[in-house]
Amino acid sequence: MKIYNTMTRKKEDFVPIDESEIRMYVCGPTVYNYIHIGNARPAVVFDTFRRYLEYKGKKVKYIQNFTDVDDKIINKSREEGVSAKEISEKYIAEYFKDADALNLERATVHPKVTENMDEIIRFVKVLVDKGYAYESEGDVYYSTRKFGGYGKLSGQNIEELEAGARVAVGESKRDPLDFALWKAQKSEDEPAWDSPWGPGRPGWHIECSAMSNKYLGETIDIHAGGQDLAFPHHENEIAQSEAYTGKPFAHYWMHNAYITIDNEKMSKSKGNFFTVRDILKEYTGEEIRFFLLSGHYRSPINFSRDLMIQSRNALARMHHAEENLRHLKQHGEGEMTEKERSLWENISSFRGRFEEAMEDDLNTADAISAVFELIREVNTAVRDGASGEFAGKCLDLLKELTGILGILSDGGSEEDGISEEIKALVEERQEARKAKNFARADEIRDILREKGLAVEDTPQGPKIVKL
């Protein structure tokens, strides 16, 4: 498999450190609000990457943190007159609701800053002891210039960075390039933890270094996130982690491109800021997920009504193919015919096409195209009916590939979710029609319609569909 490594700026063969377990860290959200569509992209993209590795038989240790200590959380808690902990706990719970809607697998661990304070303080202390960091008025700063490779990920040198560096009000750093590892408590209502430098809280960057080290070890396979995190967040993580261990932090850095809204940058001031929760009022999580995977993850993607409707229609075609196959599988007769055997040879080759796309730097756009080509072939092959075995094989392949993308995995089957009572009604309707008792057949049709169901009559018998 080839993946684009931001560090080397080229596609490279992906070679895990330890074949038996791939170690991956994805920067997670700061929990002070619902996640927005921009947060959803890395979550969906890297979840899909992980699903693909798992499909290929790899074990993946996948860590995604929650930043539950942050100025934004403190500000929100002041606005709402509740504790910072109440804010962060609320939005962690809300995150999981959105994650479920988007069909994100749970990370192996979702560590929180507040539950890893000892490790973070120990990490900072080592950096101070090694001379990479210094205490100043209760704060601790990282001496950026001490770290030789600073800027290597984002491709900037110290002179360029110097031009943009500032010392903010209230900061006591020696050099504008330095960044905070620990922030002294400034007022009583700020959450604070005891440390060798007095009460305070960690800066943002140090948490990922400390938690990645704790859960995944010194050098990991992949560190991933949105491209806006490459600088300064990931650059600072590298400086911290490599100064701490003296070893490379991550072998591969993966960054997804940003999302625009109707071709404009998303911002609260422009009024085009969308949370996943807002979007879920109009579209399903599956439609959002499909949309996010419909472009290559390193290309910017534009969120618009047109593209969401396209995603909806494309998914409907997939669901329709799935339902059709499920129906044929249940009602089709017997084993594959000679003709189906040769058709299957062609149809099963789409697995290769799909994998080829995924292994080319996770090209989900091409992988989705491969699924649609598969569906076209299958639809043609089963137009005049199919054996149960053939339909079943096509269905399994379709579900396996879409499952990697995290779509069509809602248990999928409309018929599976149908109660015995409904099945009995459909049966009775069949009998009524046979007996030419059309009044009763229509009555049953109306009962089903009230339950949001319809019966389609097909050559293989009645098919129940949701309205």
Binding site for Zn ion (CB under 5 A): 27, 208
Assign 3-class secondary structure to 89-130.
HHHHHHHHHHHHHCCCCCCCECCEHHHCHHHHHHHHHHHHHC
Comparing CB distances to Zn ion, the nearer of 208 and 405 is 208
From CA 448, how far away is CA 466, in angstroms rounded? 10
Closest separation in Å from C-beta 250 to Zn ion: 11
Comparing CB distances to Zn ion, the nearer of 233 and 329 is 233
Residue 203 is encoded by which pair of tokens? 């800066």
Nearest to 409 by CA among 51, 56, 64, 57: 51
Q: Tell me which amino acid residue 18 is.
A: D
Comparing CB distances to Zn ion, the nearer of 27 and 177 is 27
Closest separation in Å from C-beta 269 to Zn ion: 26
Closest separation in Å from C-beta 180 to Zn ion: 15
Closest separation in Å from C-beta 185 to Zn ion: 23
Comparing CB distances to Zn ion, the nearer of 27 and 464 is 27
Closest separation in Å from C-beta 224 to Zn ion: 10
Comparing CB distances to Zn ion, the nearer of 73 and 378 is 73
Find the helix packing angle between 117-129 and 235-245, rounded to 10°: 70
With 0-12 / 13-18 / 19 or more C-beta atoms within 10 angstroms meaning exposed / middle / buried, residue 177 is buried
Comparing CB distances to Zn ion, the nearer of 208 and 220 is 208
Nearest to 196 by CA among 122, 119, 91, 247: 122
Residue 358 is encoded by which pair of tokens? 């995924």
* Burial profile 103-131: b = 16 or more Cβ within 10 angstroms, e = fewer: bbeebbebbbbbebbebbbebbbebbeee
Comparing CB distances to Zn ion, the nearer of 205 and 326 is 205
Q: Is the peptide bond before 232 cis (omega within 30 degrees of 0)?
A: yes
From CA 203, how far away is CA 200, in angstroms rounded? 10
Q: Of all helices (H) and strands (E), which one includes residue 305? A: helix 305-331
Q: Tell me which amino acid residue 149 is.
A: G
Closest separation in Å from C-beta 267 to Zn ion: 22
Backbone φ and ψ for 267, nearest 5 degrees, come out as -155, 150
Comparing CB distances to Zn ion, the nearer of 63 and 464 is 63
Tokens 């499920």 appear where?
A: 326
Q: Tell me which amino acid residue 343 is.
A: L
From CA 55, how far away is CA 52, in angstroms rounded? 5
Comparing CB distances to Zn ion, the nearer of 126 and 230 is 230
Closest separation in Å from C-beta 213 to Zn ion: 12
- Residue 344 Cα distances to 23, 288, 290, 357, 460, angstroms: 37, 32, 27, 21, 21
Comparing CB distances to Zn ion, the nearer of 179 and 283 is 179
Closest separation in Å from C-beta 229 to Zn ion: 6
| 453, β-bridge pairs | 466
The CA R_g of the chain, rounded to the nearest whole Å, is 27
Residue 290 is encoded by which pair of tokens? 């499909």
Closest separation in Å from C-beta 422 to Zn ion: 49
Closest separation in Å from C-beta 237 to Zn ion: 6
- Tell me 144's DSSP state: G
Comparing CB distances to Zn ion, the nearer of 16 and 225 is 225
- Number of CB atoms found within 10 A of residue 231's CB: 15
Closest separation in Å from C-beta 87 to Zn ion: 20
Tokens 């995290």 appear where?
A: 406
